[in-house]
Each structure stands twice: as C-alpha cells, then as structure tokens.
Amino acid sequence: MSKPAVELEHLLIRGGRVIDPGRDIDAKGDIYIAGGRVVRLDLRGTAALPDNCPVLNADGLVVCPGFIDLHCHLRQPGFEDAETIATGTRAAARGGFTTVCCMPNTEPPIDTAGVVELVRSIAGSEGVVRVLPVGCVSKHRAGKELADFGELSLSGVIGFSDDGSPVADASLMKEALRTAREVDLPVIDHCEDPALSMDGVINEGETARRLGLKGISRASEESVVARDIEIARTTGGRLHVAHVSAAGSADLIRRARSEGLAVTAEVTPHHLTLTEEEVGRVGPSARVNPPLRTQDDIDALIEALEEGVLDAIATDHAPHTARDKDGEFSLAASGISGFETALGSLMGLVHTGSLGIKTLLARLTSGPAGVLRRADIGTLKPGSVADIVVFDPRIEWVVDPADFISMGRNTPLAGRTLRGRVICTLVGGHIAYKDYVVKMRMLKGLENINA
Ligand code: DOR
C-alpha cells in the first residue's frame, strides 16, 4: 500500500459500540491501537491513555473490523478510463473496506504471475487498502485452456475465476477444481449458462415483458450452481459461488453445505436490496449481471445470509465509463459502482428490521475472512492488524454520483437517501479514509489528523 493519507503512531477510539462478529462481541468500549496493531480492547471504558495519544470520540458510532470484499473490479491494467487501483482503493476505503479481492477481467487479464506482480506492485505504490488479486481460470480468460495455477498460486492469488464470464465448459471446470485443490485455493465461478441467458439483459419475468427486454432466467444461474456443486463433490475442490442472485441457488448451496461439501458463496448489496423493477425506474444504471431479481429472491437470500449459507457480502464493484453505460439498455455495460453505497444500502435492511446488524457485519468481516481462510484480518483481536472501520449507523445522506471517489458513477441509487455512513477507515492503524466529521470528533491530537 502507498503511504497513508494520515500516519498515526497510536490512537484511542473511545466509547463506540464495538462489534467484532467473529468473537461475538457487541458492547460499548475503547480500542487502543499502536504500531499498526490492535493493542487493547477495553469494554469497561477504563483504558489508560499514553501521553500524546490522539483520541477519536466514537460515541454513537459503530467500531468494527474493516470490511473484506471478496469481489470487485479495479479495472487496472487496461481499463484505466473506468477505474484505477488508486481511485478504486480510495473508494473502497470510503466504503469501509480494508481488503479487496480484485477480479482478473483486466487487459491483459490476470492469467500469469507477471500480471499478478504488476497489480500487486501498483497496489503497493498507489493503493490505500490491501489488494488481493484473483487469477484467471483460463489462459487469456478464453475459456479453453487452464491457466498455470501453480505459477499463479505462488505469485499470491487468492483463488481463480473467469468472472465476467462463466466457466462454460464443464470439463474445464472439472480440471480447474481438481488443480485448485492441489494448491488449496477456491475456484470462484460466475455461474451462468450462456446457452440459457443468450442475449438476455434483465431478469426473465413480468418486468422484462412489460419493457420488451430479453430475459435471463434463474435457471441460467441455478443449473451451473448445481453442475459446479457436483463437480466439486467428485473432485474435492473448493467452490466459491460468486454473486448469488436466485432463490434456487441458495437452496442448492444450503444442501451442498449440509452434505459437508467445500462450497462457499457471496451475495451483493444490490441483489439484497433492489428488484428488477429498478430497471423500469432508472434504466441502464440498473443493468447488472446476474440481473436484479424479485422480492421473493431477496427474501430467500436474506434468509440464507442469516443462516450463514451465504458466507459473505461482496460488492461486485463494477465501475464503467458514462460512454459504456449510458444509452440504450440492451447495449449498456453490466455493472454497478458499489463501494461507496454498500454500507448505506445494507444498513437500510437493518433499519427496516430485515437483517440483524451482527449478521450484516459478520458477512462483511469474519465471513469473508473465513472464505479466505485468514485469521489475521476481519477481527479486532488484540495483536491483529488494525484494519478498522468506524461508522455512523444513523446518519442520512443523499447519493450523488458526482461526489464519488470512484471514477465509476454508474449507480442506480443516484438521488436516494441512505442511512449509515463510514466516518473513518484505518488500514494497518493508519487513516485511509476520513469523513469531514472526524475533525469534530477528535478530542485530542487534532494536529495529527489535519482533517
Ligand atoms: O455486472 C457485472 N459486471 N457482472 C459481472 O460479472 C462483471 C462485471 C464487470 O466486470 O463489469
């Protein structure tokens, strides 16, 4: 990561509601961090203060481990007109994310150690959060020949995916899961049968008929989820299902897990909060793949999230240029710029009582850390790296894409009022993002913050 905007030797975050889902902690307390690590979590609020320690007043705020995003598109190398690692990671920090896994549909795609190293080196010099690259399943992302998983795993990828496209060929998927098992990493599949979705652009159903648009059925996703589960069963490979959108997919994953298969899954904020009706309301900014479905799907996805059948909420942050996104619906690029609205839209589910805040935060922290099999992030355990987000669960704000840090202004939420906003994001104990209210909340050490 690049030099942080604000370097801190130490910091006390005082009197916040500390939620550490992985350790079942939800209590008012103080967190003292120093040397980039969590030193002490004091739930009695009696932490003794070292001299000159800056203090952030977190009264009324939630303090929790930094969010881990298993699925985003940073677009670099190759599509720097849509996003760069510099802008994407700053947008991620604003959303409370301290670790992001970036998908390999770049140009060139991340299919060799050389491209992994390029991404890691740009992230090291220009990024402000941890960037974990995902390598391609197939060479050139062409869906024909397996990429060199041994080389990619040695270069540090966290899994393999041809995301943006499915692994359409079942025999390639079998080879991928078998080979991924040898390097103990998951295959992350964008589950979609191209022969079923064809040139569909929206959920198949009522809204598609009304708008005269071609539909993508749930079966397009569910049939590939079912196929992949069976291949995972025979190969013993780890399968991670990307951006689950259909109720039936959640059922298949539930059954696979109850049978003890190594299957994990994620769901996006937009598939949890928006329905196909958005397309009629806002047009191309609601075009996304898989498509937004219906309230019945949302209800099933939330249930699966509560149960832990869906391990993680992942943004699928997919920035696009206005040129690629605006215009006729059927020609518009798929994807939503999601980092900066994720927390606010998900907190909407908490405010309406649809989802518990502890579940929400677990699926943004300990859940994805579990998928990555990492015990060192997604936790506030003393000794762990100080990746922390402080957010105001109640504050209302209106989404204005022109104000995004992300270069991708493509959001269906423009003009919407959201409730819940990140106040401060720490990565390795340093401030990677701070909202303007931080200035008012620094009780001591304002000179160090320079907000
Ligand atoms: O809507 C999407 N956009 N879905 C994907 O799978 C890929 C992504 C992109 O890269 O824009």
For residue 225, being part of any structural domain is answered with: yes
Q: Are 162 and 138 in contact (CB under 8 A)?
A: yes
2 within a domain of the structure (yes/no): no
Q: Is residue 4 part of a domain?
A: no
Count structural domains, the chain.
2
CATH code, domain with 427 = 2.30.40.10
**Same-domain check for residues 118 and 255:** yes
Residues 165 and 258 in one domain: yes
Residue-wise pLDDT for 270-293, tens only, equals 999 999 999 999 999 999 999 999
Q: Could you report the per-residue pLDDT of 291-334, keeping only the tens digit for each?
A: 999 999 999 999 999 999 999 999 999 999 999 998 899 999 99
- Which of 30, 69, 297, 316 is an active site residue? 316
Q: Which atom of ligand 1 is nearest to the CA of 73?
A: 10
Ligand 1 atom at minimum distance from 288 CA: 1
Q: What is the pTM of this model?
A: 0.97
Mutate to test the pocket of ligand 1, among 240, 268, 289 (most ligand atoms within 8 A of CB): 289
One domain, residues 199 and 244: yes
Inside any domain, residue 220: yes
Using most ligand atoms within 8 A of CB, pick from 69, 70, 73 the residue to mutate for ligand 1.
73
Looking at the fold, whether 29 and 112 belong to one and the same domain comes out as no
Q: What is the percentage of the chain residues whose pLDDT exceeds 90?
A: 91
Residue 137 inside a domain? The answer is: yes
Helix axes 113-126, 85-94, angle to 10 degrees: 60
Alpha helices in 283-430 (DSSP H): 295-307, 322-325, 342-351, 357-364, 366-371
Give yes or no: residues 76 and 56 share one domain. Answer: no
Does the C-beta of 325 come closer than 6 Å to ligand 1? no
CA gyration radius for the chain?
Answer: 21
Q: Is residue 407 part of a domain?
A: no
Could you tell me the CATH number of the domain that includes residue 149?
3.20.20.140
60 and 96 fall within a common domain: no
Per-residue pLDDT of the chain (451 residues; tens, 9 = 90+): 776 667 788 999 999 999 999 999 999 999 999 999 999 998 876 667 777 889 999 999 999 999 999 999 999 999 999 999 999 999 999 999 999 999 999 999 999 999 999 999 999 999 999 999 999 999 999 999 999 999 999 999 999 999 999 999 999 999 999 999 999 999 999 999 999 999 999 999 999 999 999 999 999 999 999 999 999 999 999 999 999 999 999 999 999 999 999 999 999 999 999 999 999 999 999 999 999 999 999 999 999 999 999 999 999 999 999 999 988 999 999 999 999 999 999 999 999 999 999 999 999 999 999 999 999 999 999 999 999 999 999 999 999 999 999 999 999 999 999 999 999 999 999 999 999 888 888 876 655 554 4
The residues, any chain, with a CB within 8 Å of residue 318's CB and separated by 6 or more, are: 72, 73, 288, 334, 335, 336, 337, 338, 408, 410
Note whether 31 and 92 are same-domain residues.
Answer: no
191 and 56 housed in the same domain: no
Q: Which one, of 12, 46, 43, 6, lies nearest residue 28 by Cα?
A: 43
Same domain, 47 and 164: no
Cβ contacts of 141 within 8 Å, gap of 6 or more: 104, 105, 109, 111, 162, 164, 165
Q: Which domain holds residue 37?
A: 10-64+384-400+414-444
Q: Is residue 406 part of a domain?
A: no
Cα(177)–Cα(187) distance, integer angstroms: 6
Distance 103 CA to ligand 1 centre (A): 10
Q: Are residues 423 and 274 in the same domain?
A: no
Question: Is residue 164 within 6 Å of ligand 1 at its C-beta?
Answer: yes
Ligand 1 proximity of 190 Cβ (cutoff 6 Å): yes
| Strand partners of residue 271 | none
Q: How far is CA 129 from CA 124, 126, 172, 192, 424, in A?
A: 9, 9, 33, 31, 13
Do both 334 and 395 map to the same domain? no
Judge whether 405 lies within some domain: no
Residue 311 Cβ inside 6 Å of ligand 1? The answer reads no
Q: Are residues 36 and 81 in the same domain?
A: no
User: Active site includes 316?
Assistant: yes
Which ligand 1 atom is the nearest neighbour of the CA of 242?
6
